[in-house]
């Protein structure tokens, strides 16, 4: 009995979506020609890519500190995002468990606090890696 009703509702939704998408007027597409590239820009780009001395300033590499700063940003950013998502999921599941069985609230709370401490320690490891890359970088002489 529910199969014909489901088919009718599915068809109605598909037809209404099709009508909705046809109701919008598409934006005009402008076809532009690519800008002509001058020979000076091509030669300058090739020189910058081929010449390795462009990356050096006063006989020390500029790339290592720059990429270390980028790596430090990624280290602390990914550590904070991962820990934040994990802590949010763990806290939500703990609240779900407490709401289902209030008598085990003390046990769940203790396990939650311990797991949150472990998750936060991983964020602190990311911070330590970021600080090492910024201030005590082993790659710089």
At 116, which helix (H) or strand (E)?
Answer: helix 105-135
Residue 31 CA to residue 13 CA, distance in Å, equals 35
Mean pLDDT computed over 2-27: 72
Q: What's the distance, CA 33 to chain centroid?
A: 34
Q: What is the pLDDT of residue 55?
A: 46
44-69 per-position pLDDT tens digit = 777 666 655 544 444 566 778 888 88
User: In Å, what is the CA distance from 98 to each residue of 84, 110, 116?
Assistant: 21, 12, 17
CB 112 within 8 A of CB 54: no
Angle, to 10 degrees, between the axis of helix 105-135 and the axis of helix 63-100? Answer: 180
First-last CA distance in the chain: 77
74-125 per-position pLDDT tens digit = 999 999 999 999 999 999 999 999 999 999 999 999 999 999 999 999 999 9
- Which parts of 72-134 are beta strand (E)? none
């Amino acid at each position: 009995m529910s199969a014909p009703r489901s088919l009718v509702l599915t068809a109605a939704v598909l037809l209404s979506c099709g009508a909705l998408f046809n109701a919008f007027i598409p934006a005009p597409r402008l076809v532009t020609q690519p800008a002509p590239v001058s020979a000076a820009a091509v030669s300058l780009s090739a020189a910058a890519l081929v010449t390795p001395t462009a990356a050096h300033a006063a006989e020390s590499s500029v790339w290592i500190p720059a990429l270390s700063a980028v790596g430090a940003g990624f280290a602390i950013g990914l550590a904070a995002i991962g820990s934040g998502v994990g802590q949010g999921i763990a806290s939500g599941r703990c609240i779900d468990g407490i709401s289902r069985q209030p008598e085990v609230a003390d046990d769940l709370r203790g396990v939650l606090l311990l797991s949150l401490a472990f998750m936060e320690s991983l964020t602190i490891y990311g911070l330590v890696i970021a600080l090492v890359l910024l201030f005590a970088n082993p790659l710089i002489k």
